[in-house]
Amino acid sequence: MAEILLVIIIGLTAVSSLSKPWIGIIAYYLLALLGPQYVWWWNFRDLHVSLIVAVCTMAGFALMFLKGKIETGFIKTRQNRILFGLWCFLVISYFFGPFVASNNTTFNPTELINRATKIYLFYFISVLLINDIKKLYYLSLIIIVTTLFYIYWSNMQYVSGNWSQFNMGRLMGPTSVDGGGIYSDENNFAMLFVTGIPFIYFLSQIITHKLIRYSLLCCIPLGWHSVFLTGSRGGLLGLGVVTVVGLLYSKRITLIFIMLLIFVGFYQWQAGNTMKQRSETIAAYQGESSAEARIRVWTGGIKMLADNPITGVGIGSFMFACPKYVDGIPLIAHNTLVQFFAESGIGAGLCYVLIISNFVYCSKKLFRWVRVNKDNEDIDRLKYLLQACTTSFAGLITCSMFLSLNYFEVYYYLLIIINSLSVLYIMNNDNFDQVPEAA
């Protein structure tokens, strides 16, 4: 019965995507962020859902393009030029990186470049199709639905005592029979909550229905608990960042003080031994999972870049090349910037830095527009999207200094939002000096 219902949903989505391809984009990010194929894998095993959605969305996009209904201004932005450059550097590192040909490790370069190409392709299609506030609002609901579902799912694993879902005391996300899953890594699972909680919080601030508002707010401490269950130190750091930044945006001093007290108290009460033991080593300098180990690996990444400044060692090849540069130990970078530099050369690393600086620049311009245009009919949705996206991005970038999040879908999801917001308020406002420049 469940499979029949799933087939019907897929069919309706596919048909809708042909006439309104932006629906296919929503479906794509639902599959990319929620990953229902890993939660209910027994219903998805014989269905190529992602392929069906992708083909129908691209077909619908092609039809719109041929009819001249695509507004190309959404892709002609600084952010998109930089992202295209980053993808080019990834491709160059795949074909010319010295360690790619012999790399047979878990991070297969061919699979990784294919995954990266799919991410970038759908990003560029998305920025052309998600071209109004209403569509952006629907897109933002994807991460809210996903985060709320996994808050429920993760806490249920704990309450029900499903310890098989824990790896050495750390909660993993759902996986298929073969062990695959977008959140099988505990750090990635923690990052979902870090980036999703700001959207839940700021949505609660614009909803007038009190029951829904307080229900959303009550989910936030449960989201904290979900991060504690993963035992991710990067997740804990990111959680602290989004909590502080989000409360600062709210400009409610009393609320800031109360929420911080609740956070500290909830951590002491519910963090558990694994999270507390791991968090105690965040500032530790010595040890295999310490700052010393990270610095050693990052130094190895710099050496990789020095030896291969244009191509890097090759996409997906950091761990394979690591023994040559770091005392014979195969380790991952645990730093997104270092991994881009080491694997794909100086151009890729610089593109990543430019994307971050451009995001900050555009968000500052947009916040200025919000302050000036308080009477705009779409201002509540705009303000919600902007505050949530910026807070989420702050947590993500903070964590990226200690985790390898190069192909984490939420990163590109947030870039879609800031890109579309920037272009929309350039195109629809005559007073150009009060709106942001192109992203």
**In the predicted structure, residue 272 carries a pLDDT above the cut 60:** no
**In the predicted structure, residue 293 carries a pLDDT above the cut 80:** no
**In the predicted structure, residue 212 carries a pLDDT above the cut 90:** yes
More reliable by pLDDT, 437 or 149: 149
**In the predicted structure, residue 386 carries a pLDDT above the cut 70:** yes
pLDDT of residue 375: 64
**In the predicted structure, residue 247 carries a pLDDT above the cut 70:** yes
Contacts of 135 by beta carbon, 8 Å cutoff, 6+ apart: 22, 129
pLDDT of residue 3: 67
CA–CA distance, 60 with 127 (Å, rounded to integer): 15
pLDDT of residue 431: 44
**In the predicted structure, residue 1 carries a pLDDT above the cut 60:** no
pLDDT of residue 261: 67
Confidence of residue 434 (pLDDT cuts 50, 70, 90): very low
* Nearest of 98, 25, 158, 45 to residue 312 by alpha carbon: 98
Top mean pLDDT of 67-81, 241-255, 344-358, 374-388 is at 344-358
**In the predicted structure, residue 435 carries a pLDDT above the cut 90:** no
234: number of Cβ within 10 Å: 25
pLDDT of residue 37: 83
pLDDT tens digit sequence for 22-42: 999 999 999 999 988 888 877
Averaged pLDDT for residues 367-372: 82
pLDDT tens digit sequence for 216-240: 988 998 898 899 888 888 888 898 8
How much is the mean pLDDT over the chain? 84
Total residue length of the chain: 439
Bridge partners, residue 10, by sequence: none
Averaged pLDDT for residues 406-414: 94
**In the predicted structure, residue 410 carries a pLDDT above the cut 70:** yes
Averaged pLDDT for residues 128-146: 93
More reliable by pLDDT, 150 or 332: 150
Contacts of 301 by beta carbon, 8 Å cutoff, 6+ apart: 318, 325, 333, 335, 338, 339, 341, 342
Confidence of residue 294 (pLDDT cuts 50, 70, 90): confident
Confidence of residue 153 (pLDDT cuts 50, 70, 90): very high
266-273, Cβ contacts within 8 angstroms, sequence gap of 24 or more: 266/221, 266/224, 266/225, 267/224, 267/228, 270/224, 270/225, 270/228, 271/228, 272/169, 272/228, 272/229, 272/231, 273/169
Q: Show the DSSP H helices in 280-432 as ranges.
A: 291-307, 318-325, 336-372, 379-400, 409-427
**In the predicted structure, residue 404 carries a pLDDT above the cut 70:** yes
pLDDT of residue 372: 75
pLDDT tens digit sequence for 54-91: 899 999 999 998 988 888 888 989 999 999 999 999 99
